[in-house]
Amino acid sequence: MSTEVKNAPALDAKRLVIRKMNKHYGTFHAVKDLDIEVEPGEFLVLLGPSGCGKSTALRMIAGLEEITSGEVIMGDRDVTHILPKYRDIAMVFQSYALYPHKTVAENIGFPLKVAGIPPEQREKSVHDAAAQVQMETLLERYPRELSGGQRQRVALARAIIRRPSAFLMDEPLSNLDAKLRGFMRAELKHMQHELGVTTIYVTHDQIEAMTLAHRVAIMRDGVLQQLGTPAEVYTNPANLFVAGFMGSPPMNFVEGGVNNDVLTFGDNKINLSAAPEGENVTLGFRPEDATVVKAGEGRFDAKVYTAEMTGDLTLVTMRLGKSMMTVKMPKDFMVDFDELVGIEFPSDLAYLFTTKDGARLSATVA
Protein backbone atom coordinates (compact mmCIF):
# COMPACT_ATOMS: atom_id res chain seq x y z
CA MET A 1 0.00 0.00 0.00
CA SER A 2 2.03 2.92 -1.19
CA THR A 3 0.79 6.21 0.09
CA GLU A 4 1.94 9.60 -0.90
CA VAL A 5 1.02 12.27 1.59
CA LYS A 6 1.24 15.46 -0.33
CA ASN A 7 1.50 18.02 2.45
CA ALA A 8 4.31 18.10 4.92
CA PRO A 9 2.99 16.87 8.24
CA ALA A 10 3.18 19.18 11.22
CA LEU A 11 6.09 18.41 13.49
CA ASP A 12 3.93 16.89 16.18
CA ALA A 13 1.47 15.13 13.86
CA LYS A 14 0.83 11.60 15.00
CA ARG A 15 0.42 8.33 13.17
CA LEU A 16 -2.93 6.77 13.96
CA VAL A 17 -3.15 3.00 13.78
CA ILE A 18 -6.40 1.08 13.99
CA ARG A 19 -5.89 -2.62 14.41
CA LYS A 20 -8.54 -5.35 14.12
CA MET A 21 -11.20 -3.04 15.51
CA ASN A 22 -14.62 -4.63 16.13
CA LYS A 23 -17.90 -3.38 17.47
CA HIS A 24 -20.80 -5.56 18.54
CA TYR A 25 -24.17 -4.19 19.61
CA GLY A 26 -25.67 -7.30 21.10
CA THR A 27 -25.82 -9.66 18.15
CA PHE A 28 -25.33 -6.91 15.59
CA HIS A 29 -21.80 -6.72 14.29
CA ALA A 30 -21.40 -3.06 13.36
CA VAL A 31 -17.70 -2.87 12.55
CA LYS A 32 -15.73 -5.93 11.46
CA ASP A 33 -11.96 -6.23 11.81
CA LEU A 34 -11.18 -2.71 10.69
CA ASP A 35 -7.48 -2.25 9.92
CA ILE A 36 -6.31 1.21 8.92
CA GLU A 37 -3.01 3.03 9.31
CA VAL A 38 -3.25 6.79 9.01
CA GLU A 39 0.04 8.50 8.27
CA PRO A 40 1.04 11.62 10.21
CA GLY A 41 -0.65 14.60 8.63
CA GLU A 42 -2.75 12.51 6.31
CA PHE A 43 -6.34 13.33 5.41
CA LEU A 44 -8.21 10.04 5.43
CA VAL A 45 -11.86 9.83 4.46
CA LEU A 46 -14.11 7.03 5.68
CA LEU A 47 -16.75 6.67 2.99
CA GLY A 48 -19.84 4.52 2.82
CA PRO A 49 -23.62 4.50 2.72
CA SER A 50 -25.54 5.25 5.91
CA GLY A 51 -25.45 2.40 8.37
CA CYS A 52 -22.16 1.01 7.08
CA GLY A 53 -20.45 1.50 10.43
CA LYS A 54 -18.24 4.43 9.47
CA SER A 55 -19.60 6.76 12.17
CA THR A 56 -19.32 4.00 14.74
CA ALA A 57 -15.71 3.48 13.74
CA LEU A 58 -15.01 7.19 14.12
CA ARG A 59 -16.72 7.30 17.51
CA MET A 60 -14.62 4.36 18.66
CA ILE A 61 -11.47 6.19 17.60
CA ALA A 62 -12.70 9.21 19.55
CA GLY A 63 -13.40 7.04 22.57
CA LEU A 64 -17.11 7.86 22.60
CA GLU A 65 -18.01 4.25 21.89
CA GLU A 66 -16.51 1.30 23.65
CA ILE A 67 -14.30 -0.90 21.49
CA THR A 68 -15.43 -4.52 21.58
CA SER A 69 -12.04 -5.78 20.44
CA GLY A 70 -8.99 -4.47 18.68
CA GLU A 71 -6.82 -1.46 19.41
CA VAL A 72 -6.31 2.20 18.58
CA ILE A 73 -2.78 3.55 18.72
CA MET A 74 -1.93 7.23 18.47
CA GLY A 75 1.73 7.95 17.89
CA ASP A 76 3.40 5.60 20.35
CA ARG A 77 0.48 5.49 22.78
CA ASP A 78 -2.17 2.81 23.03
CA VAL A 79 -5.39 4.77 23.59
CA THR A 80 -7.82 1.88 23.15
CA HIS A 81 -9.14 2.01 26.67
CA ILE A 82 -8.69 5.56 27.80
CA LEU A 83 -11.25 8.32 28.04
CA PRO A 84 -11.77 10.69 25.09
CA LYS A 85 -10.41 13.60 27.07
CA TYR A 86 -7.02 11.94 27.42
CA ARG A 87 -6.73 11.02 23.74
CA ASP A 88 -5.71 14.48 22.59
CA ILE A 89 -8.14 14.59 19.71
CA ALA A 90 -10.64 17.17 18.53
CA MET A 91 -13.93 16.26 16.96
CA VAL A 92 -16.32 18.17 14.72
CA PHE A 93 -19.85 16.84 15.00
CA GLN A 94 -22.46 16.69 12.29
CA SER A 95 -24.65 19.00 14.38
CA TYR A 96 -21.54 21.06 15.31
CA ALA A 97 -22.54 20.65 18.99
CA LEU A 98 -22.03 24.34 19.68
CA TYR A 99 -23.24 25.19 23.16
CA PRO A 100 -26.27 27.44 22.67
CA HIS A 101 -25.74 29.27 25.94
CA LYS A 102 -22.16 30.25 25.16
CA THR A 103 -20.91 32.95 22.80
CA VAL A 104 -18.68 32.17 19.86
CA ALA A 105 -15.63 33.15 21.91
CA GLU A 106 -16.71 30.97 24.83
CA ASN A 107 -17.40 28.06 22.53
CA ILE A 108 -14.03 28.31 20.87
CA GLY A 109 -12.26 28.79 24.18
CA PHE A 110 -14.04 25.92 25.91
CA PRO A 111 -11.30 23.28 25.45
CA LEU A 112 -8.80 25.68 27.01
CA LYS A 113 -11.16 26.66 29.79
CA VAL A 114 -11.68 23.09 30.90
CA ALA A 115 -7.92 22.58 30.76
CA GLY A 116 -7.66 25.30 33.41
CA ILE A 117 -5.88 27.90 31.30
CA PRO A 118 -6.43 31.41 32.69
CA PRO A 119 -8.70 33.76 30.71
CA GLU A 120 -5.94 36.23 29.71
CA GLN A 121 -4.01 33.49 27.95
CA ARG A 122 -7.16 32.07 26.45
CA GLU A 123 -8.18 35.30 24.85
CA LYS A 124 -5.25 35.44 22.44
CA SER A 125 -5.61 31.80 21.42
CA VAL A 126 -9.33 32.27 20.84
CA HIS A 127 -8.65 35.26 18.68
CA ASP A 128 -6.02 33.42 16.64
CA ALA A 129 -8.21 30.38 16.12
CA ALA A 130 -11.16 32.57 15.16
CA ALA A 131 -8.99 34.51 12.74
CA GLN A 132 -7.95 31.29 11.08
CA VAL A 133 -11.59 30.64 10.16
CA GLN A 134 -12.42 34.33 9.53
CA MET A 135 -14.74 34.57 12.53
CA GLU A 136 -12.81 37.11 14.60
CA THR A 137 -15.45 39.83 14.14
CA LEU A 138 -18.32 37.70 15.44
CA LEU A 139 -16.83 36.56 18.73
CA GLU A 140 -19.63 38.00 20.89
CA ARG A 141 -22.48 36.40 18.96
CA TYR A 142 -24.44 33.35 20.10
CA PRO A 143 -24.62 30.28 17.85
CA ARG A 144 -28.29 30.88 17.03
CA GLU A 145 -27.34 34.25 15.54
CA LEU A 146 -25.00 32.60 13.04
CA SER A 147 -25.62 31.09 9.63
CA GLY A 148 -24.91 27.43 8.97
CA GLY A 149 -21.55 28.14 7.42
CA GLN A 150 -20.51 30.37 10.32
CA ARG A 151 -21.46 27.73 12.84
CA GLN A 152 -19.38 25.29 10.89
CA ARG A 153 -16.40 27.64 11.17
CA VAL A 154 -16.87 28.04 14.91
CA ALA A 155 -16.90 24.27 15.27
CA LEU A 156 -13.67 24.10 13.31
CA ALA A 157 -12.10 26.83 15.41
CA ARG A 158 -13.03 24.95 18.55
CA ALA A 159 -11.32 21.89 17.10
CA ILE A 160 -8.09 23.60 16.09
CA ILE A 161 -7.60 25.80 19.12
CA ARG A 162 -5.71 23.30 21.21
CA ARG A 163 -3.69 21.75 18.41
CA PRO A 164 -4.77 18.16 18.86
CA SER A 165 -2.86 15.15 17.56
CA ALA A 166 -5.81 14.30 15.34
CA PHE A 167 -9.01 15.76 13.97
CA LEU A 168 -12.07 13.59 13.74
CA MET A 169 -14.93 14.92 11.62
CA ASP A 170 -18.34 13.31 11.43
CA GLU A 171 -20.10 14.49 8.25
CA PRO A 172 -19.34 18.10 9.10
CA LEU A 173 -20.63 19.53 5.84
CA SER A 174 -23.87 17.60 5.50
CA ASN A 175 -26.00 20.33 7.13
CA LEU A 176 -24.97 23.00 4.63
CA ASP A 177 -26.60 23.81 1.33
CA ALA A 178 -24.90 22.64 -1.86
CA LYS A 179 -23.16 25.89 -2.74
CA LEU A 180 -21.77 26.52 0.72
CA ARG A 181 -20.71 22.91 0.99
CA GLY A 182 -18.46 23.26 -2.05
CA PHE A 183 -16.93 26.41 -0.63
CA MET A 184 -16.37 24.99 2.86
CA ARG A 185 -14.90 21.87 1.33
CA ALA A 186 -12.17 23.90 -0.32
CA GLU A 187 -11.52 25.82 2.87
CA LEU A 188 -11.40 22.68 4.95
CA LYS A 189 -8.88 21.12 2.63
CA HIS A 190 -6.71 24.23 2.69
CA MET A 191 -6.85 24.45 6.45
CA GLN A 192 -5.89 20.84 6.94
CA HIS A 193 -3.01 21.35 4.56
CA GLU A 194 -1.79 24.35 6.54
CA LEU A 195 -2.11 22.72 9.92
CA GLY A 196 -0.80 19.36 8.80
CA VAL A 197 -2.78 17.51 11.44
CA THR A 198 -3.76 13.88 10.99
CA THR A 199 -7.44 13.90 10.05
CA ILE A 200 -10.15 11.27 9.78
CA TYR A 201 -13.26 12.46 8.03
CA VAL A 202 -16.51 10.53 7.76
CA THR A 203 -18.94 11.11 4.90
CA HIS A 204 -21.44 9.39 2.68
CA ASP A 205 -20.81 11.86 -0.12
CA GLN A 206 -18.34 10.41 -2.62
CA ILE A 207 -17.59 13.81 -4.14
CA GLU A 208 -16.44 15.08 -0.74
CA ALA A 209 -14.34 11.96 -0.40
CA MET A 210 -12.76 12.34 -3.82
CA THR A 211 -11.96 16.01 -3.41
CA LEU A 212 -10.74 16.05 0.19
CA ALA A 213 -8.94 12.82 0.80
CA HIS A 214 -5.37 11.79 0.47
CA ARG A 215 -6.75 8.31 0.82
CA VAL A 216 -10.28 6.98 0.90
CA ALA A 217 -11.45 4.00 2.94
CA ILE A 218 -14.71 2.65 1.62
CA MET A 219 -16.86 0.67 4.05
CA ARG A 220 -19.92 -1.44 3.66
CA ASP A 221 -21.80 -3.35 6.35
CA GLY A 222 -18.96 -2.78 8.77
CA VAL A 223 -16.31 -4.20 6.42
CA LEU A 224 -13.55 -2.21 4.77
CA GLN A 225 -13.92 -2.67 1.00
CA GLN A 226 -10.99 -0.75 -0.38
CA LEU A 227 -8.37 1.65 0.87
CA GLY A 228 -6.50 3.82 -1.59
CA THR A 229 -6.05 7.23 -3.15
CA PRO A 230 -9.16 8.70 -4.75
CA ALA A 231 -7.76 8.03 -8.21
CA GLU A 232 -7.06 4.40 -7.31
CA VAL A 233 -10.50 3.65 -6.04
CA TYR A 234 -12.08 5.41 -8.97
CA THR A 235 -10.10 3.88 -11.80
CA ASN A 236 -9.35 0.56 -10.19
CA PRO A 237 -12.26 -0.42 -7.96
CA ALA A 238 -11.70 -3.57 -5.95
CA ASN A 239 -15.22 -4.85 -6.30
CA LEU A 240 -18.71 -4.23 -7.61
CA PHE A 241 -19.74 -2.21 -4.54
CA VAL A 242 -16.86 0.23 -4.77
CA ALA A 243 -17.35 0.54 -8.52
CA GLY A 244 -21.02 1.34 -8.06
CA PHE A 245 -20.51 3.68 -5.14
CA MET A 246 -17.89 5.96 -6.65
CA GLY A 247 -18.83 8.30 -9.44
CA SER A 248 -21.85 10.38 -10.25
CA PRO A 249 -23.87 9.33 -12.10
CA PRO A 250 -22.81 5.86 -10.99
CA MET A 251 -21.22 3.21 -13.14
CA ASN A 252 -23.58 1.38 -15.51
CA PHE A 253 -23.99 -2.36 -15.07
CA VAL A 254 -25.33 -5.11 -17.27
CA GLU A 255 -25.61 -8.61 -16.03
CA GLY A 256 -25.52 -11.88 -17.96
CA GLY A 257 -24.25 -15.43 -18.25
CA VAL A 258 -20.88 -16.36 -19.79
CA ASN A 259 -20.66 -19.08 -22.36
CA ASN A 260 -17.52 -19.69 -24.39
CA ASP A 261 -16.16 -16.24 -23.51
CA VAL A 262 -19.38 -14.64 -24.68
CA LEU A 263 -21.48 -12.58 -22.27
CA THR A 264 -25.18 -12.88 -23.08
CA PHE A 265 -27.83 -10.56 -21.76
CA GLY A 266 -31.24 -10.39 -23.43
CA ASP A 267 -30.61 -10.56 -27.15
CA ASN A 268 -27.19 -8.96 -26.86
CA LYS A 269 -23.82 -10.62 -26.88
CA ILE A 270 -20.41 -9.23 -25.95
CA ASN A 271 -17.15 -11.06 -26.44
CA LEU A 272 -14.86 -11.42 -23.44
CA SER A 273 -11.49 -12.94 -22.93
CA ALA A 274 -10.45 -15.20 -20.07
CA ALA A 275 -13.90 -15.11 -18.51
CA PRO A 276 -14.97 -17.82 -16.05
CA GLU A 277 -17.02 -20.38 -17.90
CA GLY A 278 -20.71 -20.79 -17.05
CA GLU A 279 -20.81 -18.08 -14.37
CA ASN A 280 -22.97 -15.00 -14.12
CA VAL A 281 -20.91 -11.89 -14.68
CA THR A 282 -21.62 -8.18 -14.30
CA LEU A 283 -20.11 -5.82 -16.80
CA GLY A 284 -19.64 -2.21 -15.84
CA PHE A 285 -18.64 0.96 -17.66
CA ARG A 286 -18.64 4.56 -16.60
CA PRO A 287 -21.06 7.13 -18.09
CA GLU A 288 -18.22 9.38 -19.20
CA ASP A 289 -16.36 6.53 -20.95
CA ALA A 290 -19.27 5.52 -23.19
CA THR A 291 -20.88 7.23 -26.16
CA VAL A 292 -24.33 7.04 -27.70
CA VAL A 293 -24.22 6.01 -31.34
CA LYS A 294 -26.73 5.03 -34.00
CA ALA A 295 -28.67 1.85 -33.41
CA GLY A 296 -26.70 -1.21 -34.44
CA GLU A 297 -23.35 0.56 -34.48
CA GLY A 298 -22.53 0.11 -30.77
CA ARG A 299 -21.89 -2.91 -28.61
CA PHE A 300 -25.60 -3.21 -27.96
CA ASP A 301 -28.83 -1.26 -28.49
CA ALA A 302 -31.16 0.32 -25.98
CA LYS A 303 -34.20 2.57 -25.93
CA VAL A 304 -33.90 6.19 -24.78
CA TYR A 305 -35.76 6.74 -21.52
CA THR A 306 -34.95 10.40 -21.05
CA ALA A 307 -32.30 12.98 -21.82
CA GLU A 308 -31.31 15.73 -19.37
CA MET A 309 -29.35 18.83 -20.22
CA THR A 310 -27.24 19.79 -17.19
CA GLY A 311 -25.56 22.77 -18.78
CA ASP A 312 -22.11 21.51 -19.52
CA LEU A 313 -23.30 18.18 -20.88
CA THR A 314 -26.30 16.03 -21.67
CA LEU A 315 -27.12 12.95 -19.63
CA VAL A 316 -28.81 10.33 -21.80
CA THR A 317 -30.58 7.59 -19.86
CA MET A 318 -31.50 4.39 -21.67
CA ARG A 319 -33.45 1.36 -20.69
CA LEU A 320 -32.36 -2.15 -21.42
CA GLY A 321 -34.60 -4.83 -19.96
CA LYS A 322 -34.90 -3.96 -16.30
CA SER A 323 -31.71 -1.96 -16.00
CA MET A 324 -31.14 1.70 -16.70
CA MET A 325 -27.88 3.11 -17.97
CA THR A 326 -26.65 6.66 -18.30
CA VAL A 327 -24.15 8.08 -20.73
CA LYS A 328 -22.58 11.53 -20.64
CA MET A 329 -22.76 13.22 -24.05
CA PRO A 330 -21.80 16.72 -25.23
CA LYS A 331 -24.27 19.45 -24.41
CA ASP A 332 -25.55 19.85 -27.96
CA PHE A 333 -26.41 16.16 -28.35
CA MET A 334 -30.04 15.65 -29.40
CA VAL A 335 -32.10 12.51 -29.02
CA ASP A 336 -35.81 11.63 -28.90
CA PHE A 337 -37.76 9.76 -26.29
CA ASP A 338 -38.06 6.03 -27.05
CA GLU A 339 -35.53 6.28 -29.89
CA LEU A 340 -33.48 3.12 -30.36
CA VAL A 341 -29.77 3.90 -30.04
CA GLY A 342 -26.54 2.00 -29.67
CA ILE A 343 -24.01 2.22 -26.84
CA GLU A 344 -20.30 2.07 -27.45
CA PHE A 345 -17.42 1.99 -24.95
CA PRO A 346 -13.72 1.17 -25.21
CA SER A 347 -12.85 -2.32 -24.12
CA ASP A 348 -10.06 -1.26 -21.75
CA LEU A 349 -12.45 0.91 -19.74
CA ALA A 350 -14.92 -1.87 -19.04
CA TYR A 351 -14.89 -3.67 -15.70
CA LEU A 352 -15.99 -7.22 -14.99
CA PHE A 353 -17.23 -8.60 -11.69
CA THR A 354 -18.76 -11.85 -10.58
CA THR A 355 -22.46 -11.28 -9.98
CA LYS A 356 -22.49 -13.63 -7.01
CA ASP A 357 -20.11 -11.82 -4.62
CA GLY A 358 -19.11 -8.79 -6.66
CA ALA A 359 -15.42 -9.72 -6.82
CA ARG A 360 -13.39 -8.04 -9.56
CA LEU A 361 -12.44 -10.35 -12.42
CA SER A 362 -9.18 -10.19 -14.30
CA ALA A 363 -11.12 -10.97 -17.48
CA THR A 364 -11.41 -8.20 -20.08
CA VAL A 365 -13.73 -7.24 -22.89
CA ALA A 366 -12.35 -8.37 -26.18
Contact residues for another protein, defined by CB under 8 A: 62-67, 81-91, 93-95, 97, 99-102, 110-115, 117, 121-122, 125, 128-129, 142, 158, 160-163, 165, 168
Residue 332, amino acid:
D
Nearer to another protein, 84 or 250 (CB): 84
- Burial track 255-265 (b if 16+ CB lie within 10 A, e otherwise): bbebeeeebeb
How far apart are CB 196 and another protein at their closest, in Å? 14
At 185, phi and psi to the nearest 5?
-60, -50
- Least CB distance from residue 61 to another protein, whole Å? 11
Residues 6+ apart with CB under 8 A from 19: 35, 70, 71, 72, 73
**What is residue 251's DSSP assignment?**
P
Closest distance of CB 262 from another protein, Å: 56
CB of 68 to another protein, least distance (A): 11
Select 142 or 333, whichever has its Cβ closest to another protein: 142
CB of 174 to another protein, least distance (A): 14
Smaller CB separation from another protein, 33 or 128: 128
**What gap in Å lies between CA 40 and CA 10, rounded to an integer?**
8
Q: Which is nearer to another protein, 115 or 340 (CB)?
A: 115
State the greatest distance between any 2 C-alpha atoms of the chain, in Å, as a whole number: 79
| Three-state SS at 349 | helix
CA 115 to chain centroid, in Å, comes to 34
Give the type of residue at 76: D
Which residue lies nearer to another protein by CB, 7 or 132? 132
